[in-house]
């Protein structure tokens, strides 16, 4: 099993950790992990990293995402979605689709958002969702997020929206905020993650696909938006042993902080970064993915 990333389509009702365990077992990977929890209610794209690719998690979590969300107007719940207990019900006439669409689009742009209690964020080592289930509510700091676009649509008299947003955006909170702005309250009724960075649902694989062997593994280097750099054997040996290489010796014209996908004679094995000391720029190892290829 070659290390890499499987674009897994998680069905509704399955936890993200269960999805990881299933993929790990079916592929025979020694290690596996996901990059961005999907609630059991939600379905959609869940990139699962296998073996040495788990080291790429910090890069994958920074990706922008696209969701398809259902919103139920006139009702609020303690969890922010329809799986929770109803805490308020609006008795007046509900807003029209046109009113919903106009209000939803007003949330496009940079804004501050308070994470929900029903989330995987941790406080003193405990997940907020676990505290919420115990009836405990704690203060959460608002975080800066960006909603790039919202496209409302209607299906069988139900309201939906396609949302493209930055990392850290909570769609259940967005639904609640839209309901508050409309004056009737709202809760999330459906959630599908359609895109995570370069991974999209059209190219994803189900549990059945993996069982049947009809899937592919994305090489870990494909997720990095950095230029490739193949080092000559002499400098490759120095670099892999932790030594910084002056960029002049490599014929590089690069800026401090710039990162590269490092290739040796056996292929990709590391990420390198340009550092600067005493006015001299050098390429230094940032993360080794495949030490066995050095």
The string over 248-274, giving b where at least 16 C-beta atoms fall within 10 Å of a residue's C-beta and e elsewhere, is eebebebeeebbbbbbbeeebbbbbbb
Per residue of the chain (294 residues), give pLDDT as tens.
Answer: 568 999 999 999 999 999 999 999 999 999 999 988 888 899 999 999 999 888 888 777 778 999 999 999 999 999 899 999 999 999 999 999 999 999 999 999 999 998 877 666 677 667 767 766 777 677 778 889 999 999 999 999 999 999 999 988 999 999 999 999 999 999 999 999 999 988 999 999 999 999 999 999 999 999 888 999 999 889 988 898 889 999 999 888 899 999 999 998 888 989 999 999 888 899 999 988 886 544
> How far apart, in whole angstroms, are the C-alpha atoms of residue 229 and residue 250?
10
pLDDT of residue 292: 54
Q: Which residue's structure tokens are 């593994």? A: 217
Closest listed residue to residue 23, CA positions, set 53, 63, 67: 53
Distances (CA, A) of 225 to 59, 190, 247, 250: 10, 32, 20, 21
Which pLDDT value is given to residue 293? 47
| H runs (alpha helix) in the chain | 16-27, 57-60, 97-105, 128-133, 171-182, 207-212, 233-240, 247-250
The DSSP secondary structure of 64-80, one letter per residue, reads -EEEEEEEEETEEESSS
Angle value at C-alpha 171, between 129 and 87, nearest 5 degrees: 60
CATH topology of domain 4-63+198-222: Pseudouridine synthase (3.30.2350)
Report the Cα 237 to chain-centroid distance in Å. Answer: 35
Which residues of the chain does CATH 3.30.2350.10 include? 4-63+198-222, 65-196
CATH of domain 226-293: 2.30.130.10
CA distance 267 to 229: 10
**pLDDT given for residue 126 in this prediction:** 72
Active-site residue, selected from the candidate residues 39, 81, 177, 236: 39
pLDDT of residue 185: 97
56-73: burial string, b at 16+ Cβ within 10 Å, e else:
beebbeebebbbbbbbbb
> CATH topology for 65-196?
Pseudouridine synthase (3.30.2350)
pLDDT, position 242: 87
For CATH 2.30.130.10, list the domain ranges present in the chain: 226-293
d(CA 80, CA 140): 16
What 3-state DSSP class applies to 176? helix
- φ, ψ at 253 (rounded to 5°): -120, 95
The pTM (predicted TM-score) of the whole model is: 0.88
| Residue 39: active-site member | yes
């Amino acid at each position: 099993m070659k290390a890499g990333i499987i674009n897994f389509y998680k069905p509704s009702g399955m936890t993200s950790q269960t999805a990881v365990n299933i993929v790990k077992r079916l592929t025979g990977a020694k290690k596996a992990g996901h990059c961005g929890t999907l609630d059991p209610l939600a379905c959609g794209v869940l990139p699962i990293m296998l073996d040495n690719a788990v080291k790429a998690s910090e890069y994958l979590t920074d990706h922008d995402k696209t969701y398809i969300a259902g919103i139920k107007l006139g009702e609020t719940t303690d969890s922010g979605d329809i799986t929770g207990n109803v805490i308020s019900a609006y008795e007046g006439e509900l807003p029209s689709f046109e009113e919903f669409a106009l209000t939803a689009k007003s949330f496009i742009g940079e804004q501050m958002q308070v994470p929900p209690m029903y989330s995987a964020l941790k406080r003193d080592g405990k997940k907020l969702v676990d505290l919420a289930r115990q009836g405990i509510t704690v203060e959460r700091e608002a975080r800066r997020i960006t909603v790039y676009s919202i496209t409302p649509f209607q299906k069988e008299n139900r309201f939906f929206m396609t949302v493209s947003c930055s990392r850290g955006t909570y769609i259940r909170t967005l639904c609640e905020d839209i309901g508050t702005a409309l004056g009737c309250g709202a809760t999330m009724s459906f959630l599908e993650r359609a895109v995570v960075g370069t991974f999209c649902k059209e190219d994803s694989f189900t549990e059945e696909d993996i069982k049947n062997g009809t899937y592919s593994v994305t090489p870990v280097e494909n997720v990095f938006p950095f230029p490739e750099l193949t080092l000559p054997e002499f400098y490759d040996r120095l670099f892999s042993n932790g030594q910084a290489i002056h960029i002049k010796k490599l014929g590089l014209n690069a800026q401090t902080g710039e990162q590269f996908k490092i290739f040796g004679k056996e292929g990709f094995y590391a990420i390198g970064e340009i550092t600067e000391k005493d006015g001299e720029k050098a390429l230094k190892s940032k993360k080794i993915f495949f030490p066995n290829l050095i």
